[in-house]
Structure 1
Amino acid sequence: MKNRLTGFSFIELIIALAIISILTLLAYPSYVQHRITANREQAKQLLQACAAELSLYHKTLQSYEDIALRPFPSQLQNVCNTPHIQTLKHESYQLKALSVNQHSYELVAQRQGTQIKDSCGDLVISQHGKKTLLNSQNTSLEDCW
């Protein structure tokens, strides 16, 4: 009786690798787009949570002026640092004050890193909850917000 080794032939392994490679090439762009969308959703939650905290801040101090240093856009100072908001922060966006005066502000979530590819641009929210986009590439507000 002959002892025959069983297993995969070299051709079968090459065909399996080719199929896996093709499937990966087809799925990767969808994966990247999903990550960009998920990061944008997290940035929207961050902006809305910070806006809620700033509303309480204004009720206490009657002013928004001390939340950020000039020139704008600049980092927020001593606000939006609650544990809930800290969990929403992400390396794909940086939260900054776009403009601030005594009774109004605009916050921006600036894209950074791989999120730069997001066609929605930077997300902006004002003290009245008005939502806008900066540096967007022909994308509608409804699609992004």
Structure 2
Amino acid sequence: MTLRDRQKMRYLKTDEHGFTLIELMITVAIVAILAAIAYPSYTKYVQRGYRSEGIAMLSDAVARMERYYAQNNTYVGATLSTLGLSTDSKVTTLSSANSKYTLSFSGTPGATTYTLQVVPQDSQAKDTCGTMTINQAGAKTPTTAECWR
């Protein structure tokens, strides 16, 4: 074996560690594609979680309205403070724990009718369900089943 052959063999046996620029760029591209797919799903999941907070507020308020009706035989005079949702009688809207929804009456409660609503706030305002309402008969808007899960 000649000197030149030995030099070639030593060059071939050299272990070089690390990534080439092309390998690194391919990896970054793959991560970017995965993030582009995952982020919209994540935001939709987060919005659905906050939406359940708004639905819980509505459900609690509906139960309190029915209790109010059972005690007074009318919905007239019902406010957030008379329902026990606020200590301030001047409060007309109530924020959720994470401030993603505000609860209020849509109009004034009548003798046998009322409509409660939760309005999305901040980043939740981008939610496709938007403002959700429920009335004394249990009619809900929007009517999309996805919004009320």
Cα offset for 1:110? 0.8
Aligned partners of 1:92, 1:78: CA distance in 2, in Å?
A: 23
2:83 alignment counterpart = 79
- The equivalent of 2:54 in structure 1 is 43
* RMSD of Structure 2 on Structure 1 (CA): 3.0
Structure 1 Cα separation of the partners of residues 78 and 130 of structure 2: 24
Query: 1:1-145, aligned counterparts within 5 Å?
Result: 6-68=17-79, 76-79=80-83, 81=85, 89-99=97-107, 100-133=109-142, 140-145=143-148
Contact 2:68 2:78 in 1 (8 A): no
Paired residue for 2:7? none
Aligned residue pair count: 128
CA distance in 1, matches of 2:37, 2:144: 29
Q: In 1, Cα distance between the equivalents of 2:29 and 2:116?
A: 48
Whose Rg is larger? Answer: 2
Distance 1:13 1:25, change over 3 A: same
Q: Conserved in 2, the CA contact under 8 Å of 1:43 and 1:89? A: no
TM-score, normalised with respect to structure 2: 0.67
More strand per residue: 1 or 2? 1
Q: Which runs of 4+ in 1 moved over 6 A?
A: none
Contact 1:54–1:80 (CA<8 Å) still a contact in 2?
Answer: no
SS of the residue corresponding to residue 81 of structure 2 reads coil
Q: Which AA in structure 1 matches 2:144?
A: L
Q: Please list the CA deviations of residues 85-122 of structure 1 after superposition, one character each: whole Å capped at 9, or x if unmatched.
A: x9x64422111111212332110011221222222221
Aligned residue type for 1:108:
Q
Worse-matched range after superposition: 10-19 or 92-101? 10-19
Q: Which moved more, 1:42-51 or 1:58-67?
A: 58-67
Asked whether the 8 Å contact 1:97–1:107 carries over to 2, the reply is yes
Residues 115-142 of structure 1 show CA distances to partners (whole Å, capped at 9, x for unaligned) of: 2222222111112222123xxxxxx533
State the TM-score, normalized to the length of structure 1.
Answer: 0.69
